[in-house]
A and B are shown apart, each in its own frame.
Chain A
């Protein structure tokens, strides 16, 4: 439970919304893709530094839209705010 102002999206409102997030390691979800990528990177077959050879825990689906009234009596609706389902991708 967080106030809308705390979200840091630039809205000023004391309304409270439910914020669900994903966390955790994804060691069990390593795929052949990740292993091969790691191997090729260590053999310098791939030079790009920003390749990610590990799965990470991210939302697979998001909660429904949430609406609120701000401190200036204007309504706003925000989508994809809170995680509904998490997974190692």
Chain B
């Protein structure tokens, strides 16, 4: 039976899983404290020209994802949505105005180069490529049908680098993820850049993993032993 069997149809059509996730976090002392920690840091204005301290915001986000159990953090990050208010809330989870968006969009390969210069960012990006690599040999498109590993390395990338990925819009019908970069000005590396960017924007493994988590269907597909 589907999870919502027996529920009031009016209630289920009105339900907002991202709001439920925020409620669950607010009712847990540890989650509430660290969520409030990054939200206040990421939305604190420094001066008229500087909207926030991106470095401090990233650090606070990293603490949130490192110290709060994934049952809370994943629910906030990967909640499933049927309406735009919910999807916008999902997009806002990481306070994108500070942690994600920037005045200019750098070239993705430049961004990758900067990431590779930082040992932590480099290893997190490598994890992402390993665990979310779209595979045509598995049912789920994920290596070893392991959704959890892909979600984990996605969350690992968020925790405070310029490679931070996010939902690009509040669409409920399709999920599009991207880091804050574009392939403009790639010169003769255009193809390589597009390929790198597609690992985020058009990755069936990542998309399936997020959708399965939101629908609560990933439990049926735990890694085979």
**Distance (Å) between the CB of B68 and the closest chain A CB?**
14
Per-residue CB proximity of B87-101 to A under 8 Å, as 1/0?
011001001000000
Contact A1 to B27, CB < 8 A, known contacts A64-B36, A77-B40, A77-B43: yes
- For residue A23, CB closer than 8 A to chain B, the reply is no
Chain B residues 20-60 with CB under 8 Å of chain A are 22-23, 26-27, 29, 32-33, 35-36, 39-40, 42-43
Closest to A74 in B: B43
Interface contact B43-A69, CB-CB below 8 Å: no
Per-residue CB proximity of B1-37 to A under 8 Å, as 1/0?
0000000000000001001001100110100110110
Interface contact B22-A64, CB-CB below 8 Å: no
Closest to B97 in A: A75
Closest to A1 in B: B27
Q: How large is the interface on A (under 10, 10 to 19, 20 to 34, 35 or more residues)?
A: 10 to 19
**Distance (Å) between the CB of B114 and the closest chain A CB?**
28
Q: How large is the interface on B (under 10, 10 to 19, 20 to 34, 35 or more residues)?
A: 10 to 19
- For residue A68, CB closer than 8 A to chain B, the reply is yes
Per-residue CB proximity of A65-85 to B under 8 Å, as 1/0?
111110001010100000000
Interface contact B36-A65, CB-CB below 8 Å: yes
A66 to B40, CA, bound (A): 9
Give the contacting residue for A77; candidates B16, B23, B27, B36; CB below 8 A. Answer: B36
Segment with Cβ contacts to B, from A10-18, A24-32, A40-48, A52-60: A10-18
Give the contacting residue for B39; candidates A16, A18, A75; CB below 8 A. Answer: A75
What are some 16 contacts across the A-B interface (CB < 8 A)?
Answer: A15-B19, A15-B22, A15-B26, A16-B27, A64-B29, A64-B36, A65-B33, A66-B26, A67-B36, A68-B22, A75-B42, A75-B92, A77-B36, A77-B39, A77-B40, A77-B43
A positions within 8 Å CB-CB of B = 1, 14-18, 64-69, 73, 75, 77
